[in-house]
Structure 1
Amino acid sequence: LAWLSDAQAGRLLKQLECIVTAISTEPNLPHQEISLLDEAESHMLLHDWTQTEAQNPNTSLHQLFEAQVLQAPDKTALVFENQRLSYRELNERANQLACVIRSRFADAHQKVMPKDTLIGLYFDRGVDMVISILAVLKAGGVYVPISPEYPKPRSKFIFSDTKAAILLSQSQYQNRLEDWLAEQALPTQLLMVDEALSKNALNKNVPSETVFNYNVAPLSGPQDLAYVIYTSGTTGQPKGVMQSHGNVVRLLAATQEEYQFSRDDVWTLFHATTFDFAVWELWGALSHGGTLVVPTGECVVDSQAFAQLCIKENVSVLNQTPAAFSAFAATVIDNDWRLAQLRLVIFGGDALNIESLKPWWKRFGDTLPQLVNMYGITETCVHVTAKKLSADMADNALDIGRPLKDMKAYVLSSSGKPVPVGVPGELYVGGAGLARGYLNQSALSSQRFIESPFATQAEKANSQYDTRLYKTGDLVRWLARPNGAPGHLEYLGRNDFQVKIRGFRIELGEIESALSALPEVRQAVVMTRKQTQEYTSEAQNYLAAYFVSEPDHAVQIDSLMSQLRSQLPAHMLPATLTQLDAVPLTINGKIDRRALPDPEFVDADTYIAPRDELETQLCAIWQGVLGLDQVGIEDNFFQAGGNSISAISLISQVNRHFNVKLSVANLFLQATIKAFSDEVKNHQVQENLLKWLTPKPGSQSHSSQDNSHIAKMFMVHPGGGGCEVYRGLASQLKNDFECIGIDNLNMLSDKRIGSLQKISETYLTAVESLLPKYEAINLVGWSLGGTIALEMAAQLEQRGYKDIYVYLLDTHAGPTIDKDMDPNTLEKINQRQRASMLEQGVSGEYIDSILLSRPYESQIASSDLSQGLEHTQVILLKAGKLGVNEYQYLTDEEAFLSAKFSVPDNNISKLIKAPLKVVLLERYDHQSLLGAGEEIKQAIANNCLIPE
């Protein structure tokens, strides 16, 4: 026994004594009924180490927030990009939306909305998402987050399972959601929050005398549901976990003494609201009066951008999964950055490898920030145990600490008996925090949430005390501590087919069901394997899928992956698919998982070398991230061992190396280097599309005057030129608008576009992150630029935008002059213009780009809009005379002059529903119109007063 400590040897001898005693006194006792615990150890494990302090919350989550509004109304509550809302502003918007929600429900059902009414949330990251969560709770409802990134079948299942009374979303998703709900014949009402909160919206459902700084009367209490979050399910469908207000409130109370959260703290909402870690982040900030910073989707997957955001916003409390923190820590260390205000880094969502933290501790020490490992499950309200970490911990320790002070932990054998210290068993969690159960799955709830056999009579008699236990499926063991201190728990893994991948609990059966349902597949097996990659020193779990195909079915791996991608969220997609002739079985006829072959990430026989320098550089980056010696241009990143976390590392490196802003979504859509290189090229062009014609906010040349809410004006390039032509006009408008030029893609790229719809869509993609949420969208375009601006407005209307203004600088609708021009005449014109521009000092390269783009621009100018404009307000500033050299190449100048100017509205009225407003600039011709800066400025400023 030399390898045992004295304490371990003593415990072992006591266990042997218990066995001998049981055998001698009850020889017929089944062996699984024999207890290895004496009375003293049993009392220690069941009582001394599991004493709890009940929190008994008496308030709801939104009331915690409202208390902070009263204490510090002007304190910054929420930050997203350039938007900053105080507690007062956030509260008022949430109150406004809560009133709309209640009114919508009452109108539809002719009654007051009852407690526990489910309301879906379908949002991208941003202010509207947080406002909606608060509003739903204030209205008395239960929020159900659904990611727009979910595949259609998963979203539709949640719609059907919840039968939500109302679904809140954004206008850009209106058409999609209307179609999906109609397909299921669900009575769910759609409410577009960006429209409901628009400062120009007149909400008929809310009485005009409503003052939104008064909180709506509360309907929900601590025992009522706050949210339902869906997790992976064994049946092939996700399951909804129901959590109450009180469970979250008591979590905040149970952790406050240890971590001292305050109004000075700045948190990030790093995780998606579909992941329960986000519950902790959101309410950890807003219940203590702190500031919640919401990163964009692009920022979350770019460790460099996220680290810079943390520095800029002085983040003090950071919550991360271990894998995400590895990328974050490497970025911070490599750049020698300091996060001066960071005081806490809290890990959750996955097993933590202590070895991976050593570079961080070497750089920053282990006290500031303090690193904390917290273990928890969606069913137990985010966190169950906590452990402060230090640099002197054993490398292999998966110590998850002790239960929070209002939680209980029991380590039980397969027969439900407590096991001794040091012996593995399944973790059962009791005390506060347990979910009400699974939505619409009472049988499963009864299996996983059981009555505690250890509850005392006093606990059973207390109606406020939850006497249930949750069967976690996690294997743990108690660790003894020096000097008789209460023991800690060590995490050992799973005892079922549920796994954790990058913080998400996944039922392997759900993936197997999805794969088996494909027509080409007869049988499927999914398991986890480990692989070490560049972004982390520790081996990471990945999902490996194996399948046997149906006879006479030709199988394409890419096709199977594509079908799975339409059924499963990204975190559940297998990294590899391996075809088998048969699934190996044990002697007992069970699947022999140990006999399944190691997956091959890259097939050497199909290697295709890079064709140019860009692909060569991408191959090098992919090889480093994936930990492979060779990657070809047609090897799929995810089939080569990549996953969503390594994708973050790859995208971060690509963005930094090529100075682009790609997202992980780009990699999912274009997963081979051959396809992905085109994405890089396109984004390099797109990065150059936008030009700030007035100083960019935050730049040194930007005025110190507070104009953070100044309106934006998007200025679309004309034909045969770039957006630089608007610099003079932008200078005139600089006090009223942030002027952003959209440059000529056909002059910047060799992949030119001749479709009006396609080029407008490309430009909208470029400006998407800059589009205002609550103010009007302003577009200006000279000549062809006006045509493109009109189509951009049409596409914005299709996305649900209504508050749009388009200012046309002598744009004409209808056939273009050179549409039917014979090639010889067109070539003469081109030669004349080339000579003229060369005389003016224009470079030959720039002239070539103009002339090469001309045929495409002619196609664009001759195209019809994708739809008429229903809501857009259009102001036409019309040239009043013909220029001396304008159209001098025409054979019938008089006829064209008559046709051009005899139409007072330039044929624009037929394209729009609202009345066209026309300003005739009599002193200016088409070419000199941009010189009318003062008149244009006045027309824009007074657009509502311009005579028709």
Structure 2
Amino acid sequence: MESGQHTLVERFEGVVARFPDRVAVTADDRELTYRELKHRSAAVARRLRDAGAGAGSPVGLLVPRSSGLAVGLLGILMSGAAYVPLDPAHPRERIAWMLKDSGVSHVVTVPELADSLPGMSVEVVELAEDRAHGPAPEAAQPLIGPSAEDLAYVIYTSGSTGLPKGVQVEHRNVVRLFDVTRDWFGFSEEDVWTLFHSAAFDFSVWEFWGALLFGGRLVVVPSATARSPRALDELLRAQRVTVLSQTPSAFARLAAAEERAAGPLSTLRVVVFGGERLEPAGLRDWFARHGDEHPRLVNMYGITEATVHASYRPVTAADTTRSGASPIGVPLPDLGFHVLDEDGRPVPDGVPGELYVAGAGVARGYLDRPELNKERFLELEGPDGTVRRCYRTGDRVLAHSDGGYGYLGRTDDQIKIRGYRVEPGEIEAVLLAEPGVSAAAVVAHGYGDGDVRLLAHVASDTPAYLLAPRLGERAAAVLPPYMRPSAYVVRPELPLTPNGKVDRGRLPEPAAAVAPVPVDEDGAPGPTGTERRIVQIWQSVLDLPEVGRNTDFFDLGGTSLSLLRMFARTNEEFGTDLDITVLIEGATVASLARHVDSALSATVSTP
């Protein structure tokens, strides 16, 4: 068969036949071989079939990071259905909306998350612990799996109309992604991959199948480890990871942790960047320590609608001295890039234009969005006269004379936060639902050291100290964490363009920004002095006038990057060596102060 004419299930079963006893998944200090993973997944598939799912139907997948995530995902595909990933960290209301919009009638989940689904019109298929790790069931009659043209998954992305939209991706779209990139990377059964990203983020598709389609081992990264660069560094060493996928901002934090560790990450052979604009200048220190041969660093521009990755560009030390557009390289062999002006005409090399991606990676389209599909999924005639289906990306790029491309930014207001696409319009629609708010504009605001957060400007006569907490509660009820504004600027009115739209270029500086949560009632720092000093650090890092001792760092607008800066400042201030993982029990001033005092006490008492 030609590339892309197999299904993911067929390819996986071929790997099982070759490597039945190799470890497929490592998670929670447990391992599943390929044979065990297939048998457990097949059991889930049969339960889904018995419950009436399968044959092209969408099935929800609500499972935390564990080996059960792999079992559930594969089980859904083996049943013939498509999986709809649901992140347990997302608000219940958002999960309910996605279930209804996608037409899901069955959800594969675990007992501890099943309680979050009452009231939703779905049948729960529980992935119990004994089914995920107990003895493999006896072989049964083979299942009739999907075809290459069937849906593999529906992943939701932010929508400019105020609601997320589901991107439909077929089996053949994913299979050909690995067929056309295999020679570049040399993937094999010797590779160890990490599942670092949420299953609701399409980078996870690359991680999951990159391991399991080649007989490699997939290491599921716990959520707490993903938030701690030092813990991630330790996991990469302990598991001898060879292939790592990261957004540039996440890799910057890992690189800083690796620099402080007792030696390089010697087993890494390739790091794949995606999800965000890459600025090669930020890799100078890394290249100074490692060179650019081992590991290789590769930038892969991509979009969910073109199946994860669309281009390939090795990054070298020489790139760190160049300025201008972010290098994204050449399109994958079965894709074509077309750079067009506002009237849809090709532009010459070196002239910016909007990127249209054509070829085998282009997804089926948005689920039940016919008008949007007409706007974004188009038929385009190439230089050779061949008409190909393409996706209009909204990204501004320019073509180089050597055949490569450079990324410049967006043609619209879309924002990238930690790799996730954020349409400001979706957030603004939530804020406009609050009584007394007449206008809203959400923008990305830099807070130094590469930290980017969402800032909401709203027009209202309600005082900011009263309105910001209400808006924060409203956002937390329906938006995932990465889409919640870190702070609010409240004014009687926002500047408008002549045609009546908010003029984003004239929005005021956030000097009077207010955090979305108030200082808690017992907000005064404790008498020991430790809390007072930590409060001052948090006020500086978060650029806030007040910080409560029992208010969560992330509720105050903190991000993973600002958390790292806060921790570095704290350790410097007190002479401690605390790791971010101490905040698993609570990211508050009070909790951190207890750990600082404990560390200082241990230091003093050590002979």
Partner of 2:116: 176
Matches of 1:682 and 1:152, distance apart in 2: 32
Matches of 2:278 and 2:497, distance apart in 1: 33
Matches of 1:663 and 1:507, distance apart in 2: 31
Q: Is 1:126 equivalent to 2:66 in the alignment?
A: yes
Q: Is 1:135 equivalent to 2:75 in the alignment?
A: yes
Question: How do 1:710-725 and structure 2 match up within 5 A?
Answer: none
Residue-by-residue CA offset, 1:149-198 (whole Å, 9 max, x unaligned):
1112211111111221311111112222123x1xxxx2x21111116716
Answer whether contact 1:88 1:213 (CA < 8 A) is retained: no
Q: Is 1:103 equivalent to 2:31 in the alignment?
A: no
Q: Is 1:287 equivalent to 2:203 in the alignment?
A: no
Q: Is 1:475 equivalent to 2:396 in the alignment?
A: yes
Cα separation, partners in 2 of 1:622 and 1:55, compared to 1, 3 Å: farther
Partner of 1:167: 107
Q: Which amino acid aligns with 2:563?
A: A
Question: Which range is displaced more, 164-173 or 322-331?
Answer: 164-173
Matches of 1:320 and 1:660, distance apart in 2: 19
Answer whether contact 2:248 2:278 (CA < 8 A) is retained: yes
Partner of 2:486: 575
Answer whether contact 2:228 2:580 (CA < 8 A) is retained: no
Question: How do 1:512-661 and structure 2 match up within 5 A?
Answer: 512-533=428-449, 539-549=450-460, 555-600=466-511, 611-616=527-532, 618-619=534-535, 622=538, 633=548, 637=553, 642-647=558-563, 650=566, 657-658=577-578, 661=581
Partner of 1:381: 307
Answer whether contact 1:376 1:384 (CA < 8 A) is retained: yes
CA drift at 1:441: 1.1
Cα separation, partners in 2 of 1:686 and 1:629, compared to 1, 3 Å: closer
User: Secondary structure at the residue paired with 1:69?
Assistant: helix
Answer whether contact 1:576 1:639 (CA < 8 A) is retained: no
User: Secondary structure at the residue paired with 1:341?
Assistant: coil
Question: How do 1:881-892 and structure 2 match up within 5 A?
Answer: none
Partner of 2:375: 447
User: Secondary structure at the residue paired with 1:264?
Assistant: coil
TM-score normalised by the chain length of structure 2: 0.89
Matches of 1:94 and 1:221, distance apart in 2: 18
Specify which of 127, 131, 134 is matched with residue 193 of structure 1: 127
CA drift at 1:240: 0.5
Question: How do 1:165-564 and structure 2 match up within 5 A?
Answer: 165-179=105-119, 181=120, 186=121, 188-194=122-128, 197=131, 212-213=138-139, 216-393=142-319, 394-397=321-324, 398-454=326-382, 459=386, 467-481=388-402, 487-533=403-449, 539-549=450-460, 555-564=466-475
Answer whether contact 1:243 1:436 (CA < 8 A) is retained: yes
Partner of 2:92: 152
Matches of 1:640 and 1:678, distance apart in 2: 14
Partner of 1:812: none
Matches of 1:679 and 1:439, distance apart in 2: 44
CA drift at 1:199: 7.2
Partner of 2:12: 65
Matches of 1:651 and 1:438, distance apart in 2: 41
User: Secondary structure at the residue paired with 1:452?
Assistant: strand
Matches of 1:601 and 1:642, distance apart in 2: 17
Q: Which amino acid aligns with 1:488?
A: G
Matches of 2:347 and 2:362, distance apart in 1: 23
Matches of 1:386 and 1:355, distance apart in 2: 18
Q: Which amino acid aligns with 2:485?
A: P
Matches of 1:510 and 1:649, distance apart in 2: 29
Cα separation, partners in 2 of 1:469 and 1:552, compared to 1, 3 Å: same
Question: How do 1:25-36 and structure 2 match up within 5 A?
Answer: none
- Percent identity, aligned pairs only, is 36
Q: In structure 2, list runs of 5 or more residues that go unmatched.
A: 600-607
CA drift at 1:584: 0.9
Q: Which amino acid aligns with 2:258?
A: V
User: Secondary structure at the residue paired with 2:283?
Assistant: helix
Partner of 1:839: none
Matches of 2:568 and 2:286, distance apart in 1: 20
Greater RCO, 1 or 2 (C-alpha within 8 Å, sep 6+): 2
Partner of 2:590: 678
User: Secondary structure at the residue paired with 1:177?
Assistant: coil
Q: Which amino acid aligns with 1:518?
A: E
CA drift at 1:649: 5.9
Answer whether contact 1:514 1:564 (CA < 8 A) is retained: yes
Matches of 1:653 and 1:96, distance apart in 2: 50
CA drift at 1:596: 1.0
CA drift at 1:560: 1.8
Q: Which has the larger radius of gyration?
A: 1
Answer whether contact 1:601 1:641 (CA < 8 A) is retained: no
Matches of 2:133 and 2:553, distance apart in 1: 45
Cα separation, partners in 2 of 1:546 and 1:665, compared to 1, 3 Å: farther
Matches of 1:103 and 1:455, distance apart in 2: 51
Residue-by-residue CA offset, 1:684-723 (whole Å, 9 max, x unaligned):
9999xxxxxxxxxxxxxxxxxxxxxxxxxxxxxxxxxxxx
TM-score normalised by the chain length of structure 1: 0.58
Cα separation, partners in 2 of 1:242 and 1:314, compared to 1, 3 Å: same
Cα separation, partners in 2 of 1:81 and 1:198, compared to 1, 3 Å: closer
User: Secondary structure at the residue paired with 1:267?
Assistant: strand
Partner of 1:902: none
CA drift at 1:614: 3.1
Cα separation, partners in 2 of 1:611 and 1:392, compared to 1, 3 Å: farther
CA drift at 1:264: 0.5
Matches of 2:134 and 2:207, distance apart in 1: 32
Answer whether contact 1:373 1:388 (CA < 8 A) is retained: yes
Answer whether contact 2:583 2:592 (CA < 8 A) is retained: no
* CA RMSD across the alignment: 3.1
User: Secondary structure at the residue paired with 2:495?
Assistant: coil
User: Secondary structure at the residue paired with 2:142?
Assistant: coil
Cα separation, partners in 2 of 1:602 and 1:581, compared to 1, 3 Å: closer
User: Secondary structure at the residue paired with 1:558?
Assistant: helix
Q: Which amino acid aligns with 1:64?
A: R
User: Secondary structure at the residue paired with 2:258?
Assistant: helix
Matches of 2:134 and 2:445, distance apart in 1: 54
Q: Which amino acid aligns with 2:482?
A: H
Cα separation, partners in 2 of 1:496 and 1:264, compared to 1, 3 Å: same
Q: Is 1:81 equivalent to 2:28 in the alignment?
A: yes
Matches of 2:396 and 2:133, distance apart in 1: 53
Cα separation, partners in 2 of 1:135 and 1:346, compared to 1, 3 Å: same
Cα separation, partners in 2 of 1:625 and 1:322, compared to 1, 3 Å: farther
User: Secondary structure at the residue paired with 1:375?
Assistant: coil
Matches of 2:275 and 2:415, distance apart in 1: 11
Answer whether contact 2:167 2:304 (CA < 8 A) is retained: yes
Q: Which amino acid aligns with 2:491?
A: L
Cα separation, partners in 2 of 1:189 and 1:476, compared to 1, 3 Å: same
CA drift at 1:680: 3.7
Q: In structure 1, list runs of 5 or more residues that go unmatched.
A: 1-53, 106-112, 202-209, 461-466, 482-486, 534-538, 668-675, 688-948
Answer whether contact 2:427 2:483 (CA < 8 A) is retained: yes
Answer whether contact 2:514 2:544 (CA < 8 A) is retained: no
Answer whether contact 2:301 2:309 (CA < 8 A) is retained: yes
Matches of 2:260 and 2:583, distance apart in 1: 22
Matches of 1:653 and 1:317, distance apart in 2: 32
CA drift at 1:276: 0.1
Answer whether contact 1:381 1:435 (CA < 8 A) is retained: yes
